[in-house]
Amino acid sequence: MRSVSIIGAGCTKFGERWDDSLRDLVVETGIMALEDANVSGEEIDGLYVGNMSGGQFVSQEHIGALISDCAGLSRLHVPSTRVEAACASGGLALRQGVLAVASGYSDVVIAAGVEKMTDVTGGVAADALAAAADREWECFFGATFPALYAMIARLHIHRYGTTREQLAAVAVKNHQNGCNNPISQYQMEITIDDVLRSPLVADPLRVLDCSPITDGAAAVVLAPTEMARKFSDGPIRILAAAQASDTLALHDRRDITTLDATVSASRKAFDMSGIEVKDVDLAEVHDAFTIGEIVAIEDLGFVEKGEGGRAVIEGVTAIGGDIPVNTSGGLKACGHPVGATGIKQAYEMVLQLRGEAGKRQVEGAEVGLTHNVAGAAGRR
Amino acid sequence: MRSVSIIGAGCTKFGERWDDSLRDLVVETGIMALEDANVSGEEIDGLYVGNMSGGQFVSQEHIGALISDCAGLSRLHVPSTRVEAACASGGLALRQGVLAVASGYSDVVIAAGVEKMTDVTGGVAADALAAAADREWECFFGATFPALYAMIARLHIHRYGTTREQLAAVAVKNHQNGCNNPISQYQMEITIDDVLRSPLVADPLRVLDCSPITDGAAAVVLAPTEMARKFSDGPIRILAAAQASDTLALHDRRDITTLDATVSASRKAFDMSGIEVKDVDLAEVHDAFTIGEIVAIEDLGFVEKGEGGRAVIEGVTAIGGDIPVNTSGGLKACGHPVGATGIKQAYEMVLQLRGEAGKRQVEGAEVGLTHNVAGAAGRR
């Protein structure tokens, strides 16, 4: 199995991109990533794209070929594959790219993610996103994602004494970080009070507990580690890329305050990489809802189960804290263009591990972890 | 790079499966494949599923996790990934499974494909399928797939003298073969006259030139070749799995009577495998429309460009001919549950190479090739 490194990365501005189509966003980020990697189109021999629902959002499937075509790679007949795993589509596109290089089937691979979500009106987006839950056993009875995460939050509060303020502290921190990230959708600080007074979505979650609807795209370029220095002065070695699944419906889970898939994937990633939790300098985790970040840092082992809320409000996960989490601003402040998020997390990690994250830089960062339903660990 | 073999295969009955949901179909075929492979669920450490448009057909995305869940694999947290490439979703799911095993990331992988298409009414299905074409530059102006393939047929007729009867002969042969395949949707012979008198869809293509709307699922189980004999007495070695892309829109192509992606992928597959066209004993090719089979056998190198129509009507591609094509009945007679087709092609090849294809058996078959937009070559 060949070792794989990231040799370049790019990310569009996330937000409401009214003037740009799905293909515009992908071309924009693809060019950024190729320039960053010092790679020309002719050198690409594989392309993966994470996209949750081009069919429902912009009536376009076959996104792999579309993107290869838009990027001018069609004449080269580059193998182009779309990967879908709802909010983890980007993370899985990255992992498929890693497999393609690790297997020797490809050498230089682009792993991209994209979602164009603002071309539909509100109800359509909510319904499209609900297609990631169990349509027959959850959505049919009215449960959408805010409701499902609200149930997780309620039990976490009940069982561990997590407070409303602790949930809000996740959003406050991530907005702070997002203010220092030029790609983030929301460039504004918020207070705990702002979160608590924002409109209720699904009790106890309020608008400012939820990640928004966003357009955006991100891309990274992968190569075998042995070839990486040919392209890049600062390649980022991928120590492990692990993936796990769980029941689709929440009601079938052993315990809804733990995502067993996170526990399983992170265990595999740590085993593969030979590093331990304490070696990780920073992490990007999946905060589609504030409770999601609290559960994630517990399940990844950064804090004990039930201690997540306290850790956040005490600054453990702030930049400068023991384990900075979501320095990019997370899904909360960057926005959550579903298929792009997993790749944007990798993009943030590339900047951090290169020491190029500006005001949000974590000093001396050497090992990072990204968590996009499945987990992945990277080291420069 | 590890060599990969197919150790088991299963396929549901294709057709209008009113009583079965997407998940029912997948579970049915998954059990068939696991039993055929003598593998238990605990041994599976990767799952790929090809599905074009669960979002548009049954309002369900996140099909990888869904299938892992339905199959009872969720407790094992098996990495489960959906792959989408329109009509080639199944073929790419198979190739991703091959990469996962070849890379060493997984040992025993299920590659499945599924589509549940009959839960929507006519117009919705046509529009969902049109999402595989270029929405902005083709569908917006009314071009759906029959129209696009009709243009290919028109130029092929004009340039090479291909006749209406030769197109019809593809459907006649595939229906003949389908009559001997218990999974095929249409168990009836048709004549050239039947095709010529069937309703016009997009001149010159008629209803009986087109593959139908179909529900169905298929699955194969993959393992490293060195482990394959542990499970199966008749493992099928995959010599190569190659993939290529082209422009999404037909009007951007160099020449619409050739699919350059087929030429590119088959060249790669032959290079990887070390075999030549003349070594191939039979092929399953992508006959979504009759003209598609004619173009495919030319682009794969079985006959000269322009000779495809003549070859079919002269029986070169019949069982017993020089190069039997679509012994399963193809997409035309089996039906075309989009995401399942690529895996069904592999299923047919497994039966043929094992000598278990009954009345449609190709005597002495040792090397087969399947073509599902991209191309793959298999040998026992």
Segment A15-37, tens digit of pLDDT: 999 999 999 999 999 999 999 99
Q: Is the dihedral of CA A119, A121, A126, A128 positive or negative?
A: negative
Residue A293 resides in a domain: yes
Residue corresponding to tokens 């987006």? A125
**Residue with the two structure tokens 């990640």:** A211
In a domain, B68, yes or no: yes
Q: Per-residue pLDDT averaged across A353-370, rounded?
A: 97
Mean pLDDT value of segment A42-54: 93
**DSSP-based three-state secondary structure for B291:** helix
d(CA B67, CA B300) in angstroms, rounded, equals 34
Domain count across chain A: 1
- The Cα–Cα gap between B176 and A58 comes to 40
- Of all residues in chain A, the one with the smallest CA distance to B83 is A83
Residues of chain A positioned with their CB less than 8 A from the CB of B100:
99, 103
The verdict on B150 and B268 lying in the same domain is yes
Q: What is the Cα–Cα distance from B233 to B41, expressed in whole angstroms?
A: 19
Which segments of chain B have a pLDDT < 70? 374-380
CATH code of the domain containing A114: 3.40.47.10
> Dihedral through CA B88, CA B89, CA B94, CA B97, nearest 10?
140
**Is A343 within 8 Å of A94 (Cβ atoms)?**
yes
Q: Closest partner residue to B66 among A58, A242, A248, by Cβ?
A: A248
| Angle A203-A204-A209 from CA coordinates, rounded to 5° | 115
3-state secondary structure B235-269: CEEEEEEECCCCCCCHHHCCCCCCCHHHHHHHHHH
Give the pLDDT confidence score for residue B379 in this predicted structure. Answer: 42
Q: Is B221 found in the same domain as B161?
A: no
Separation of first and last alpha carbons in chain A: 19
B252-270 confidence digits (pLDDT tens): 999 999 999 999 999 999 9
For residue B374, list chain A residues with Cβ-Cβ distance below 8 A. 79
Are B87 and B99 found together in one domain?
yes
Share of chain A above pLDDT 70, in %: 98
**Which pLDDT belongs to residue B129?**
86
Residue B188 domain flag? yes
Average pLDDT over residues A325-345: 97
Give the pairing type, strands A109-115 and A46-50.
parallel
**Residue A136, domain member (yes or no):** no
Q: Specify the pTM.
A: 0.93
B141 touches chain A (CB under 8 A): no
pLDDT of res. B74 = 82
Report the pLDDT value the prediction gives residue B375, as an integer from 0 to 100: 44
B273 touching A (Cβ < 8 Å)? no
Give the long-range contacts of residues A226-229, CB within 8 A, separation 24 or more.
A226/A2, A226/A3, A227/A107, A227/A108, A228/A5, A228/A7
DSSP conformation letters of A307-340: -HHHHHHTTTTSTTSSS-B-TT-HHHHH---HHH
A216 vs B61, higher pLDDT? A216
Contact between chains at B53 and A52 (C-beta distance less than 8 A): no
> Kindly report the CA angle at B345 between B342 and B349, in degrees rounded to 5?
145
Three-class SS of residue B188?
coil
Q: Which residue has tokens 């989490």? A: A325
Length of chain B: 380
Whether residues B98 and B138 share a domain: the answer is no
Q: Is the dihedral of CA B175, B178, B180, B184 positive or negative?
A: negative
Question: Which of A322-326, A371-375, B96-100, B168-172 bottoms out in mean pLDDT, i.e. has the lowest?
Answer: A371-375
Q: Which helix (H) or strand (E) holds B330?
A: helix B330-334
Q: How far apart are alpha carbons B314 and B320 in whole angstroms?
A: 12
Token pair listed for B308: 């495809």
Residue-level pLDDT at A374: 52
pLDDT of residue A14: 98
Chain centroid offset of residue A162 CA = 24
* Beta partners for residue B11, in sequence order: B218
**Cα–Cα distance between B355 and B380 in angstroms, integer?**
10
* Kind and range of the H or E run holding B178: helix B164-178
pLDDT at A377: 45
So what's the ipTM on this one? 0.89
Instruction: Name which of A206-220, A248-262, A297-311, B284-298 the model is least confident about.
Output: A248-262
Share of chain A above pLDDT 90, in %: 79
Paired strand residues for B371: B375
What would the pLDDT profile of A138-187 be if each residue is shown by its tens digit?
A: 888 888 889 999 999 999 999 999 999 999 999 999 999 999 999 999 99
Residue B99: which of A99, A264, A374 has the nearest Cβ? A99
CB-based contact B77 A246, cutoff 8 Å? yes
Q: d(Cα B336, Cα B196) in Å, to the nearest integer?
A: 22
Residue A180: per-residue pLDDT: 98
For A298, residues 6+ apart whose C-beta sits below 8 A from its C-beta are: A258, A304, A305, A306, A307, A308
Report whether B64 contacts B47 (CB < 8 A): yes
Instruction: Judge if B260 and B333 occupy the same domain.
Output: yes
Residue reference for tokens 């994937």: A265
3-state DSSP call for residue B107?
coil
| CB B84 within 8 Å of CB A61 | yes
Is residue B341 in some structural domain? yes
First to last CA, chain B: 19
Query: Is residue A308 in some structural domain?
Result: yes
What is the C-alpha to C-alpha distance for residues B221 and B97, in angstroms, rounded to an integer? 9
Find the DSSP H helices in chain A: 22-37, 54-58, 63-70, 89-103, 122-130, 145-160, 164-179, 192-197, 225-231, 260-273, 290-299, 308-313, 330-334, 338-354
| B72 and B159 housed in the same domain | no
Q: Is A336 a catalytic residue?
A: yes
Containing structural domain, residue B268: 134-211+239-379
Are B80 and B91 members of one domain?
yes
Residue A161 β-bridge partners: none
Q: Does residue B69 share a domain with residue B170?
A: no
A 32-91 residues inside an 8 A Cβ radius of B: 47, 52-56, 58-66, 68-69, 73-74, 77-86
Q: Is residue A53 part of a domain?
A: yes
Question: Within a 10 A sphere around the Cβ of B351, how many other Cβ atoms?
Answer: 20
Q: What is the signed CA dihedral for A220, A221, A226, A229, rounded to 10 degrees? A: -90
The pLDDT value recorded for residue B139 is 85
pLDDT, tens digit, for every residue of A185-205? 999 999 999 999 999 999 999
Instruction: Give dist(CA B323, CA A223) in Å, integer.
Output: 40
Q: Is B187 within 8 Å of chain A by CB? A: no
Same domain, B178 and B325: yes
Contacts of A362 (CB under 8 A, 6+ apart): A281, A282, A319, A324, A327, A352
**Residue with more model confidence, B304 or A66:** B304
Residues B87 and B190 in one domain: no
Q: Is residue A249, in this structure, part of any structural domain at all? A: yes
Kindly report the CA angle at B375 between B373 and B379, in degrees rounded to 5? 150
Token reading at A353:
């591990």
**How far is A160 from A219, CA to CA, in rounded Å?**
38
CB contact under 8 A, B245 and A68: yes
Same domain, B182 and B91: no
Distances in whole angstroms, Cα of residue A90 to Cα of each of A48, A97, A293, A363: 9, 11, 18, 27
Q: Are B74 and A103 an interchain contact pair (Cβ–Cβ within 8 Å)?
A: no
Residues in B closer than 8 angstroms to A374, CB to CB, are 79
Residues B15, B97 within the same domain: yes
Taking one residue from A and the other from B, the number of pairs with CB-CB distance under 8 angstroms is 190
d(CA B335, CA B312): 20
pLDDT for position A379 = 41
CA-CA distance, B227 to B23, in Å (whole number)? Answer: 30
**Averaged over A304-327, what is the pLDDT?**
98
- Contact A275/B at CB under 8 A: no
What pLDDT shows up at residue B1? 84
Flag if A243 and B62 touch (Cβ within 8 Å): no
What span, in angstroms and rounded, lies between the C-alpha atoms of A293 and A313? 12
